[in-house]
Amino acid sequence: DDGDRLLAVRETDGTKDILFATAKGFSIRFPESDVRSIGRATYGVKGLELRPGDRVVAMEELDPHGQVLTVTERGYGKRTPVEKYRLQGRGGLGTINLKVTPKTGEVVGVRYVTPDEGLMLITQEGMIIRLNVSGVREVGRSAQGVRLMNLDADDRIVAVAKLAEKDEETEIELAKGDGGPVPAELELEAADEPDDSEDADDAGLAILDDDTDFEDEEDGEDDDDDSDETVH
């Protein structure tokens, strides 16, 4: 279709739940078994009914024991337990994932995470910040989150990199924002182990530990409000 493009591909075992998330702050969680197995050269089936002007920015496989981490283009983010996203039938309008406002900007990255993992946020102007998932405040589903990164007025986050220890090496997956491709030099920089030397500040790299206090914001949280949810 005109204006449509392939966003994500995952290898699955057929037993997981799937989460779609949109730029305007909506999401839907449905069982993978709702998606029937079909041929390669086909359109597939509808996972989420998009509202006018909205678009899907992420697809994640979910395990019930983790959290969903959401990051916005203006540097706000939150993590929410998977259990807060109730199962629905695929093809519905979904429910609120994050309260999008002019202050937060649109959602650019959504990741399934666990507290022992790390994150790297990459901006359009080439700034990078590394932080621990456990340092991001855990809040309800419809909150707007807290500020994770201070940005200049004309800068914005374009990618969220998840860092996970694997065989004593760092494995990085980039969740690209919908605002365009991440420059190749940023992908290469994100794929390297962060530099702890004195030159790190000059490279626009900040490293935060578990004790970092992020700036709290008014969350506007209302997890019991399911008036926007539609199940088909």
Dihedral sign of CA atoms 77, 68, 89, 173 in order = positive
- How many other β-carbons are positioned within 10 Å of the β-carbon of residue 193? 9
User: Who wins on pLDDT, 185 or 112?
Assistant: 112
Q: Round to whole Å and give the CA distance between 191 and 174.
A: 9
230 pLDDT above the threshold of 70: no
Residue 10 region, left (φ>0) first, then alpha (ψ -120 to 50), else beta?
beta
Say how many CA atoms lie within 13 Å of 103 toward its Cβ: 11
Contact 23, 175 (CB under 8 A): no
Contact 124, 197 (CB under 8 A): no
11 pLDDT above the threshold of 80: no
Structure confidence at residue 182 as a pLDDT band (50, 70, 90): very low
Domain ranges of the chain: 17-207
Structure confidence at residue 3 as a pLDDT band (50, 70, 90): confident
Instruction: List, for residues 27-84, the tens digit of each pLDDT value.
Output: 999 988 788 777 677 777 788 888 999 999 998 999 888 999 999 999 999 999 999 9
Structure confidence at residue 2 as a pLDDT band (50, 70, 90): low
The pLDDT, as a whole number, for residue 31 is 87
Please state the rounded mean pLDDT for residues 125-146. Answer: 88
**The tokens 């340092």 sit on which residue?**
135
Tell me the CA distances in angstroms from 174 to 38, 56, 133, one per residue in order. Answer: 28, 16, 15
The pLDDT, as a whole number, for residue 145 is 85
- How many other β-carbons are positioned within 10 Å of the β-carbon of residue 14? 9
User: Who wins on pLDDT, 101 or 193?
Assistant: 101
222 pLDDT above the threshold of 70: no
The pLDDT, as a whole number, for residue 161 is 86
Structure confidence at residue 164 as a pLDDT band (50, 70, 90): low
The pLDDT, as a whole number, for residue 135 is 87
User: Who wins on pLDDT, 25 or 178?
Assistant: 25
The pLDDT, as a whole number, for residue 232 is 44
What mean pLDDT is reported for the chain?
75
- How many other β-carbons are positioned within 10 Å of the β-carbon of residue 123? 20
178 pLDDT above the threshold of 90: no
Q: Round to whole Å and give the CA distance between 174 and 207.
A: 18
215 pLDDT above the threshold of 60: no
Instruction: List, for residues 94-120, the tens digit of each pLDDT value.
Output: 889 999 999 999 999 999 999 989 989
The pLDDT, as a whole number, for residue 162 is 85
- CATH 2.120.10.90 is held by the domain 17-207: yes
**∠ CA 199-202-207, rounded to 5°:** 75
Q: Round to whole Å and give the CA distance between 121 and 177.
A: 11
The pLDDT, as a whole number, for residue 181 is 44
